[in-house]
Amino acid sequence: MSIKSPGLFIAFEGGDGAGKSTQAARLSDALESRGLSVLRTREPGGTPIGEKLRSLVLDHGHGTIDPRTEALMFAAARAAHAGQVIRPALADGTVVITDRYIDSSVAYQGAGRGLGAEGVLSLNEWATEGLHPDLTVLLDVDPSDGRQRRTAGDATEDRLESEPDDFHAAIRHAFLDLAAAAPSSYLVLPANAEVETLAARILERVESLIAASSVPAPLDGETVVGDHP
Ligand code: TYD
């Protein structure tokens, strides 16, 4: 947990095509424009070894990957991310915004691949030494909407995205179950709402968390007036 660190840890979660990256960027811009120190990052990735693991685990070119191997690869990338990037930033009073974290492994490997939530959670507790977000924003997406959104234009699907709709339906339910088990740590929003509406609701919740936290106030002269467009 980041309880004792002065930063704030926010994760965006949801199925593929939920619009997490757009909302993570909006939130990061809004907080930076208020003069706060913000780190925007993603999983798998966020470190050099994490980016290598990302391309190994997402590319179609490596043949079938055993589900436990897959879970361990995501957890290995996450261990580096949590230890080398997220914890030090939180200790410096930074607001860390990650696109995906432990819930993605519980949903995709636990539910989607059938490994079960319990084992995947305990693997990730160990990998991150128990580092959990202060808030998880779950953008809840219907699997067929998600597929339509991510294949718009000529975009191709990665190894996990190209799994059938029932795989993505299991993932959706796993995310919702995690949120229902700890409602005060989640903000669940419908991914098909207007981008502006979603951005405003997320910012409102994060600002109230910042007000109640020990995130350092912006230094004099650092505040930029107004949001980015
Ligand atoms: P993402 O970065 O959201 O994909 P993109 O940037 O291409 O939209 O996530 C990559 C894929 O990895 C996504 O299908 C979800 C999957 N994933 C897992 O299966 N387990 C995990 O622990 C994580 C972090 C991602």
Set out the domains of the chain in order of their start, with CATH numbers: 8-211 (3.40.50.300)
pLDDT at position 224: 38
In sequence order, what are the residues at sequence separation of 6 or more whose Cβ sits closer than 8 angstroms to the Cβ of residue 141?
Answer: 14, 15, 16, 17, 18, 19, 149, 172, 191, 192
pLDDT at position 5: 85
Residues 113 and 71: beta-carbon distance below 8 Å = yes
Residue 48 CA to ligand 1 center (angstroms) comes to 17
**Start-end of H helices in the chain:** 20-33, 48-58, 67-80, 87-91, 102-105, 117-128, 143-150, 165-181, 195-211
pLDDT at position 150: 83
pLDDT at position 218: 79
Residue 49 CA to ligand 1 center (angstroms) comes to 16
pLDDT at position 63: 84
pLDDT at position 95: 98
pLDDT at position 193: 97
Ligand 1 pocket (Cβ < 6 Å) reads 16, 42-44, 58, 74, 100, 104-105, 108-109, 158, 160-161
> Mean pLDDT for each consecutive 10-residue tract of the chain (229 residues)?
76 95 98 97 96 92 91 98 98 97 98 97 98 98 88 85 92 98 98 97 97 80 39
pLDDT at position 227: 38
- 111-159 pLDDT per residue, tens: 999 999 999 999 999 999 999 999 999 999 999 898 888 888 778 888 8
pLDDT at position 39: 98
Cα 210 from chain centroid? Answer: 18
| Best mutation site among 42, 103, 108 for ligand 1 pocket (most ligand atoms within 8 Å of CB) | 108
Residue 228 CA to ligand 1 center (angstroms) comes to 27
H-run or E-run covering 108:
none
Kindly report the length of the chain.
229
pLDDT at position 190: 97
pLDDT at position 219: 61
Specify the pTM.
0.92
